[in-house]
């Protein structure tokens, strides 16, 4: 089973690369951002609470996102593998994910971290905000707040996987295909080792 964590700050290109990786390796996509936005659209209580935080660029509580992932893993018992996008975003979430993987008799294969500097991120997110309709992409202060949350709470997650020998960085600026090829090279090395 191939279980990938796609890591990187907001605007790093996780959505774009996820889609390509899903197609190539036949994975189920689990994006906590998308799951939260569906809750908002559906007008659930969870969605209502999450929206207030998301509109401020603040992370929603760990137990909320871990619970959502747990449900999705249970709904996809026969999947050949997963790609986690925008999750885990804190060390407790990473610990929660390890526990859930273990309960399902599997583990995280590796983390692919897309590296992009803050200036480029802000530029990309403001551009995305013009068409995505996402309120959190339309305001520069909010974008900086999200990058700050990432630097404070999410960066330690890289270290968590590094300690397990599962962290791999990919330069996230340049041609989409080149970034994809570099990511695949890392994944294929793991798959070859697992056989």
Known catalytic residues are 14, 89, 128, 134, 146
Distances (CA, A) of 114 to 70, 100, 192: 25, 24, 22
* Nearest residue to 33 via CA among 149, 140, 130: 149
Binding ligand ADP (rule: CB under 6 A), the pick from 2, 3, 7, 10 is 10
Residue, CB closest to ligand ADP:
33
**Cβ contacts of residue 83 below 8 Å, gap of 6+?**
3, 4, 6, 18, 21, 22, 25, 27, 28, 29, 30
Strand-pair category, 28-31 with 110-115: unpaired
Which x/- pattern over 58-97 shows residues binding ligand ADP (rule: CB under 6 A)? Answer: xxx----x--------------------xx-x---x----
Residue from 3, 32, 109, 183 that binds ligand ADP (CB under 6 A)?
Answer: 32
The tokens of 55 are what? 């509109």
Among 7, 30, 129, 146, which residue sits at the site for ligand ADP (rule: CB under 6 A)?
146
Instruction: Summarize as ranges the residues that interact with ligand ADP (CB under 6 A).
Output: 10-11, 32-33, 36, 53-54, 57-60, 65, 86-87, 89, 93, 136, 146
């Amino acid at each position: 089973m191939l279980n990938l964590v796609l890591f990187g700050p907001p605007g790093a290109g996780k959505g774009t690369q996820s889609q390509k990786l899903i197609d190539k390796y036949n994975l189920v996509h689990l994006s906590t951002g998308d799951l939260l936005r569906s809750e908002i659209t559906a007008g659930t209580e969870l969605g209502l609470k999450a929206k207030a935080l998301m509109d401020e660029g603040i992370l929603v509580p760990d137990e909320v996102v871990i619970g959502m992932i747990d449900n999705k893993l249970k709904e996809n018992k026969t999947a050949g593998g997963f790609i986690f996008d925008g999750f885990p975003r804190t060390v407790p979430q990473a610990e929660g994910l390890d526990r859930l993987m273990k309960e399902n008799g599997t583990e995280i294969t590796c983390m692919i971290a897309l590296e992009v500097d803050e200036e480029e991120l802000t530029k990309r997110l403001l551009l995305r905000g013009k068409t995505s309709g996402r309120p959190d992409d339309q305001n520069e202060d909010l974008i900086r707040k999200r990058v700050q949350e990432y630097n404070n709470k999410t960066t330690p997650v890289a270290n968590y996987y590094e300690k397990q020998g599962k962290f791999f960085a990919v330069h996230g600026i340049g041609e989409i295909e080149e970034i994809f090829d570099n990511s695949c090279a890392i994944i294929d090395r793991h798959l070859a080792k697992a056989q």
